[in-house]
């Protein structure tokens, strides 16, 4: 995905966390590795059954939910699926719509017919311009074709803020169970955050400092994705950063 005018911020930068506590890693499996054995277990995402064994099909975190065993991948490119919410950037305008880079192996097409209102061909560049950020839904995938739609709530152009990249396979960890992780970040930073399932995350806050804090928290999650107690670790990270900011503000006021 093209980076322009700092609209997309490279998330490969390391977090400034100085956390030195001993961390207990979650179980990691590699392809072909036996995870559990026995008829009581059922294979879930990225696992398969070989005889009585449940075996990993991808490199990632082992997650067991009751009888179900699955893998949360830690590597690999984004593979679009129908219904995915993605954040993309307009890279071309054609006679009947827009071409978007969605951080996938192929670019995506957003037809003007999939916009929430009628748009004639002369209005296309006014509705979405070159390099605009757009949150959309994957409507269909066929071969190398990816079709997008805006015909759902809260979809459309994203104004201001910043966008960062993460590995799309770590999106579930950033979101958390029932949105717990991303809601924690929103609570502490007061930022609006949209997490695209393609690994592009848009952040918009009341000031740059809050946006950067949200960004650092997200990077922290991706770096610590394999540890137990990640939610508590993120909460502690955010509390430390907020206290540091408060002290700095108080010192500035005194001066």
| CATH architecture assigned to 85-158 | Beta Barrel (2.40)
For the domain covering 28-73, report its CATH number: 2.40.50.100
pLDDT above 90 (res 163): yes
Spell out the CATH class of 161-249: alpha beta
- CA dist list (Å): 120 to 55, 96, 124, 133, 211: 53, 8, 7, 21, 36
Mean pLDDT of the chain: 86
Residue of 153, 163, 154 lying closest to 102 (CA atoms): 163
CA atoms within 13 A on the CB side of 139: 16
pLDDT digits (tens, 9 = 90+) for 59-75: 888 888 889 998 887 77
Domain segments of the chain: what residues?
28-73, 85-158, 161-249
Query: Residue 200 is encoded by which pair of tokens?
Result: 């592009």
Closest CA to 172 of 164, 162, 163, 181: 181
Domains 28-73 and 85-158 share a fold: yes
Question: In this predicted model, what pLDDT tens digit does every residue of 35-57 receive, in sequence order?
Answer: 999 989 999 988 999 999 999 98
How many alpha carbons lie under 13 Å from residue 196 in its C-beta half-sphere?
A: 31
pLDDT tens digits, 187-246: 999 999 999 999 999 999 999 999 999 999 999 999 888 788 899 999 999 999 888 877
């Amino acid at each position: 995905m093209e980076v322009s005018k700092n609209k997309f911020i490279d998330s490969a930068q390391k977090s400034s966390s100085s956390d030195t506590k001993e961390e207990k890693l979650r179980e990691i499996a590699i392809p072909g590795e036996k995870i559990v054995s026995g008829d009581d277990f059922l294979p879930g995402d990225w696992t398969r059954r070989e005889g009585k064994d449940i075996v990993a099909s991808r490199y990632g975190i082992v997650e067991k939910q009751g009888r179900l065993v699955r893998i949360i991948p830690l590597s690999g490119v984004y593979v679009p699926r129908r219904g995915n919410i993605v954040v993309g950037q307009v890279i071309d305008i054609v006679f009947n719509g827009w071409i978007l880079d969605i951080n996938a192996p192929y670019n995506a097409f957003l037809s003007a017919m999939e916009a929430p209102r009628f748009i004639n061909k002369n209005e296309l560049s006014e509705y979405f311009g070159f390099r605009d950020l757009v949150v959309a839904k994957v409507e269909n995938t066929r071969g190398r074709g990816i079709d997008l739609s805006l015909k759902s709530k809260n979809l459309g152009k994203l104004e201001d803020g910043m966008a960062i990249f993460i590995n799309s396979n770590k999106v579930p960890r950033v979101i958390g169970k029932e949105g717990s992780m991303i809601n924690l970040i929103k609570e502490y930073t007061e930022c609006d955050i949209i997490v695209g399932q393609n690994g592009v995350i848009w952040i918009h806050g009341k000031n740059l400092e809050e946006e950067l804090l949200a960004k650092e928290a997200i990077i922290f999650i991706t770096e610590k994705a394999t540890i137990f107690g990640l939610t508590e670790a993120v909460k502690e990270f955010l509390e430390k950063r907020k206290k540091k900011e408060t002290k700095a503000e108080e010192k500035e006021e005194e001066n």
